[in-house]
Amino acid sequence: MSAQSPIVDSSSAFIGFNELVGLLHAVFMKHGTSPEVAQVLAHNCASAERDGAHSHGIFRIPGYVSTLDSGWVDGKATPVVTDVASGFVRVDAANGFAQPALAAARALLVDKARSAGIALLAIHNSHHFAALWPDVEPFAEQGLVALSVVNSMTCVVPHGADRPLFGTNPIAFAAPRADGAPIVFDLATSAIAHGDVQIAARKGERLPPGMGVDSLGQPTQDPKAILEGGALLPFGGHKGSALSMMVELLAAALTGGNFSFEFNWADHPGARTPWTGQLLILIDPSKTAGQNFAERSQELVRQMHAAGLRRLPGDRRHRTRAKSLEAGIEVDAHALNQLREWAV
């Protein structure tokens, strides 16, 4: 089966990665983005779908479309990059998406990390509506260590509190290793990602215990009850809550972005993207003493496997990626048809 020729039956479709990127690019352009922004977002979204991260793949497109149509985000924004200090880059995303802001600062950030050994990127006035691992994985492929955090909209009750305050506030990390793909993980500090709750609600599935509460603050396994007036819980109780607080401080307070509770999209019906901030720290491990970092990473992986670990973080994504690139990306046929309608 050709990965470049979509094959559609009554329930599913297979489409090549480049073709999906092109289709998504057309959708974003149709709904008001610049070609440059469309390319960045299309590649990001298609990459998530290719790797099986369905909650951040084409499932997100209706939210992108309604947000762009609402005027909440500027799809043609030009990021303003400021060289603040030897290891500090600041970007005003100009009420645009965070990924184009990162792309605009990437070369300068890498140069600073190579020179100083470490560099920090602070993005504010930005909207992040995607998986976070695509933001860090490319740096690890260049031999660098990357850590990024982004805060989202209020939907998580801090441990011990009685109302939502934090966002799902993900943390992503990527590190190179010898003889293998980079070590990459991306996790929400909530017990479950908000997108996964939406997918469960759409499918009529129940959630595991401990994921969230209903509008009365009572524990629930009903995803609709969480989405309709309820809230998510942090993972690991007070530990996840502390990490979520840390993300708010790093991604919002340190960058100049909004906290998860500081923006209001009530005047923009259809808006879905959090207007917050993002922090990314980049480290050049070649500056450290001792053995080659990638070889040390590989040794850790060997020992983890020897201890009985069968799957590393990111392994499933890489297997799905290989399958998708060989046979095509399997997507819902109805969703694919909807994309084609939005693109014209």
Sign of the alpha-carbon torsion through 216, 222, 228, 230: positive
Q: Write out 131-184 in H/E/C secondary structure.
A: CCHHHHHHHHHCCCEEEEEECCCCCECCCCCCCCCECCCCEEEEECCCCCCCEE
Catalytic positions: 55-56, 196
Alpha-carbon gap, residue 274 to 328, rounded angstroms: 32
Interacting residues of 99 by C-beta distance below 8 A, sequence separation 6+: 40, 41, 44, 128, 130, 134, 135
Write the DSSP string, 242-270.
HHHHHHHIIIIITTT---TTS---TTSTT
Q: Are the beta carbons of 37 and 77 closer than 8 angstroms?
A: yes
Angle between helices 35-50 and 315-327 (to 10 degrees): 110
Terminal CA-CA length for the chain: 27
CA distance 20 to 40: 13
Measure CA 12 to chain center: 25
